Amino acid sequence: MIDWLRSLGRDGIAVFEKIGRGNLFLLRTLAGLPEVLGRPRLLLAQLYSVGVLSLLIILVSGLFVGMVLGLQGYNTLVQFKAEESLGVVVSLSLVRELGPVVTALLFAGRAGSALTAEIGLMKATEQLSGMEMMAVDPIHRVVAPRFLAGVLSMPLLAAIFSAVGVYGGWFVGVGLLGVDDGAYWSQMQAKVDLYDDIWNGVIKSMVFGLVVTWIAVFEGYDAVPTSEGVGRATTRTVVHGALAVLGLDFILTALMFGD
Amino acid sequence: MQRTPIREPGTTDMDAAQPNTETGDDILVRIRDMHFSRGERRIFDGVDLDIRRGKVTAIMGPSGTGKTTLLRLIGGQLAPDRGSVRVDGLEVPRLGRAELYRLRRRMGMLFQSGALLTDLNVFDNVAFPLREHTDLPEAMIRDLVLIKLQAVGLRGARDLSPAELSGGMARRVAMARAIALDPMMIMYDEPFTGQDPISMGALVTLIRRLNDALGLTSIIVSHDVQETASISDHVYVISEGRVVAGGTPDEIERSDSAWVQQFMRGLPDGPVPFHYPAPDYRQDLLDGAQEPRP
């Protein structure tokens, strides 16, 4: 019993230690952002790696999610003779929820895991130590550009996801199932609010981008510098990132859309 | 070999990467009563040692005695639990981040793995500290990088990526990078481990030549006794958290300490026993014979 309590206490302390390290790490990363803005080449390289290389999976996923929404939405709405509202259902589902959330989950799996693995391997091969000994702060030089690239990329990727999804819903609803083209677009324009829907969706994607990228770069930097340690850190990035996104989504949705 | 002083914008000659001998102190690194532990394990238990300017000093000892840890303590990547680590008159554990980074610009370190940046080619790896710490025009950086690469014999390998280099070549590139800012001191962490005879010969010669030509102070951490002793001016042998012997290679060779003799001659048995502590061999076998089969 005593051993169990001791083990519980030790694990609890380790969790709080890690949270503390993560917060200090975030502060140091934020302190490095002005330096990144002064070196746009570093940022552009990471925007390409984190954002542009994630584009294909976002485009394909957005298209399929939109097509599924179009099909499911039509099957439900047609029972109430309300299939002309399909554009509203598809677009609101995407810009409020599925765009930010699914993009963040995909982002954690594609870009987040890559960031963790890259930084973790740099640590395992002493590249980060080497930088420190060359008087180059690896948090400013390696972490901060990747962090900023992730935070900037996420809202753009979520916007692209939603836009492609709307076209996917249009393809199925209008192209295949015969919903009126004008009704699809005009109802969407009439019902989707710039502030309540689109802007709140953008805020969500910015928060998700910050949290997922923070988890990814921190897990890489904090990884045990062995191949097994980097593997575990990569797994933690995807699991913790996904849980954080889903948990935060509920909180943000309650704050934004709850009465 | 030409020494190329590099100065940061806004600094004076005195601030540049030159040894500070203003105090007239011949000792560049002075460690006193230094204690360091990792968790429950005590690594150093009252280490005292001096590294003299302009000399090649070897720190030797069996694997796991904390030789690499000692370099990290000198470089400020770790802080001792107790005691003093002074480099060029500065108490390293008490330095703030900015002061520590200023000191590190005057140090070079060669990691066992080379620690080359894998997303940069050889040229850009050597140029990395110059681009980070100076505002030199690209044409001058090119010349400086080629001078450093020529010094280690790899000017022709400038376009290769780290993945295309052999272990010995990677360490030579790392040496070129370590001398890019003309440091006052270079620390070598196991530079000879896993090298073929030709690469090892090249590294041995380079360490000594660079030290003398550039007026450096070199610290070599190694357990390759013959190679390290052949180029060292002074040798410390550490074991079980303490310096057990110190002197010139000849003095260490003639040491009457059984432990030092075992280490220097590579004897399999002695004060460091061949057998891990175990119960009596004969009794152990007999006990096994008497135990019932499961």
pLDDT digits (tens, 9 = 90+) for B120-163: 999 999 999 999 999 999 999 999 999 999 988 889 999 999 99
CA distance A2 to A178: 69
pLDDT of residue A99: 94
Residue of A134, A139, A141 to mutate, interface with B, max B Cβ within 10 Å: A134
Give the residue on B whose Cα is nearest the Cα of A128. B115
pLDDT of residue A113: 95
Residue B254, Cβ neighbours under 10 Å: how many? 12
Q: Does residue B277 lie in a domain region?
A: no
Query: Are residues A141 and B132, on separate chains, in Cβ contact within 8 Å?
Result: yes
Q: Does residue B187 lie in a domain region?
A: yes
Residue B77, Cβ neighbours under 10 Å: how many? 16
Q: Establish if A17 touches chain B: CB-CB under 8 angstroms.
A: no
Nearest CB among B104, B116, B174 relative to A135 is that of B104
Q: What is the DSSP letter of B159?
A: T
CA distance B236 to A180: 87
pLDDT of residue A25: 94
> Quick one: tokens of B172?
């030579």
pLDDT tier at B9, thresholds 50, 70, 90: very low
Nearest CB among B75, B128, B133 relative to A133 is that of B75
Residue B84: strand pairing partners: B32
Average pLDDT over residues A203-217: 96
CA distance B34 to B55: 22
> Given the structure tokens 């102070």, which residue do they identify?
B217
Query: Are residues A127 and B115, on separate chains, in Cβ contact within 8 Å?
Result: yes
Q: Does residue B137 lie in a domain region?
A: yes
Closest CA to B56 of B183, B189, B185: B185
* DSSP-H helix ranges across B152-241: 167-178, 197-214, 225-231
Query: Are residues A135 and B77, on separate chains, in Cβ contact within 8 Å?
Result: no
**For chain B, what is the domain count?**
1
State in Å, rounded, how far the first CA of chain A is from the last one: 47
pLDDT tier at B271, thresholds 50, 70, 90: confident
pLDDT tier at A259, thresholds 50, 70, 90: low
CA distance B203 to B207: 6
ipTM for the complex shown: 0.79
Is the pLDDT confidence value at B34 over 60? yes
Which residues of chain B lie closer than 8 angstroms to A125, CB-CB?
A: 113, 115, 118
H-helix or E-strand spanning residue B42: strand B41-52
pLDDT tens-digit map of A22-58: 999 999 999 999 999 988 999 999 999 999 999 999 9
pLDDT tier at B114, thresholds 50, 70, 90: confident
Q: Which is it for strands B234-239 and B56-60: parallel, antiparallel or unpaired?
A: parallel
Average pLDDT over residues A69-92: 92
Give the residue on A whose Cα is nearest the Cα of B130. A134
Average pLDDT over residues A57-61: 96
Q: What is the CATH number of the domain that holds B109?
A: 3.40.50.300
Nearest CB among B77, B132, B174 relative to A129 is that of B77
Nearest CB among A126, A135, A137 relative to B111 is that of A126
pLDDT tier at A228, thresholds 50, 70, 90: very high
For residue B177, give Cα distances in angstroms to A27, A131, B98, B162, B219.
30, 11, 22, 13, 17
Is the pLDDT confidence value at B87 over 90? yes
pLDDT of residue B192: 84
Average pLDDT over residues B275-291: 82
Which residues of chain A lie closer than 8 angstroms to B132, CB-CB?
A: 134-136, 141
H-helix or E-strand spanning residue A22: helix A2-37
Closest CA to A249 of A205, A198, A217, A197: A205
Phi, psi dihedral angles at B292 (to 5 degrees): -65, 150
Across the A:B interface, residue pairs with CB atoms under 8 Å apart total: 49
pLDDT of residue B17: 36
H-helix or E-strand spanning residue B56: strand B56-60
**Cα radius of gyration rounded to whole Å, chain B:** 22
Q: How far is the alpha carbon of B114 from chain A, nearest alpha carbon, in Å?
A: 8
A246 neighbors A253 (Cβ within 8 angstroms):
no
pLDDT tier at A235, thresholds 50, 70, 90: very high
Classified as helix, coil or strand, B33 is strand
Query: Are residues A137 and B77, on separate chains, in Cβ contact within 8 Å?
Result: no
> What's the mean pLDDT when you consider all of chain B?
84
B187 neighbors B108 (Cβ within 8 angstroms):
yes
Query: Are residues B105 and A129, on separate chains, in Cβ contact within 8 Å?
Result: no
The answer for residues whose C-beta is within 8 angstroms of residue A221's C-beta and 6 or more apart is A25, A119, A120, A123, A128, A138, A139, A143
Residue A80's identity, in one-letter code, is F
CA distance B144 to B112: 25
Query: Are residues B117 and A127, on separate chains, in Cβ contact within 8 Å?
Result: yes
Average pLDDT over residues B250-266: 82
pLDDT of residue B273: 76
> Given the structure tokens 């740099």, which residue do they identify?
A122
Domain that holds residue B194: 28-264
Residue of B102, B104, B171 to mutate, interface with A, max A Cβ within 10 Å: B104
The answer for residues whose C-beta is within 8 angstroms of residue B291's C-beta and 6 or more apart is none
Which residues of chain B lie closer than 8 angstroms to A27, CB-CB?
A: none
pLDDT of residue B292: 66
pLDDT tens-digit map of A90-136: 999 999 999 999 999 999 999 999 999 999 999 999 999 999 999 99
> Given the structure tokens 């000659």, which residue do they identify?
B13
pLDDT of residue B5: 40
CA distance B180 to A51: 34
Residue B226, Cβ neighbours under 10 Å: how many? 11
pLDDT of residue B202: 85
pLDDT tier at A163, thresholds 50, 70, 90: very high
Closest CA to A115 of A201, A47, A183, A64: A47
Nearest CB among B101, B118, B174 relative to A135 is that of B101
pLDDT of residue B166: 87
For residue B240, give Cα distances in angstroms to A56, B39, B50, B188, B278.
57, 16, 19, 21, 20
CA distance A237 to A218: 9
Query: Are residues A129 and B133, on separate chains, in Cβ contact within 8 Å?
Result: no
> What's the mean pLDDT when you consider all of chain A?
93
Is the pLDDT confidence value at B19 over 60? no
Is the pLDDT confidence value at B269 over 90? no
CA angle, A170 then A173 then A176, to 5°? 105
Q: Does residue B283 lie in a domain region?
A: no
Residue B31: strand pairing partners: B49, B85
The answer for residues whose C-beta is within 8 angstroms of residue A11's C-beta and 6 or more apart is none
pLDDT tier at B261, thresholds 50, 70, 90: confident
Is the pLDDT confidence value at B16 over 70? no
Q: Does residue B257 lie in a domain region?
A: yes
Nearest CB among B105, B112, B116 relative to A135 is that of B105
Q: Based on the number of CB atoms within 10 Å of its own CB, is B172 exposed (0-12), middle (13-18) or buried (19 or more)?
A: buried
Is the pLDDT confidence value at A220 over 60? yes
Which residues of chain B lie closer than 8 angstroms to A131, CB-CB?
A: 117
- Out of B9-23, B90-104, B114-128, B239-253, pick the least confident: B9-23
Query: Are residues B113 and A134, on separate chains, in Cβ contact within 8 Å?
Result: no
Query: Are residues B129 and A141, on separate chains, in Cβ contact within 8 Å?
Result: no
Average pLDDT over residues B196-204: 84
Q: How far is the alpha carbon of A40 from chain B, nearest alpha carbon, in Å?
A: 14
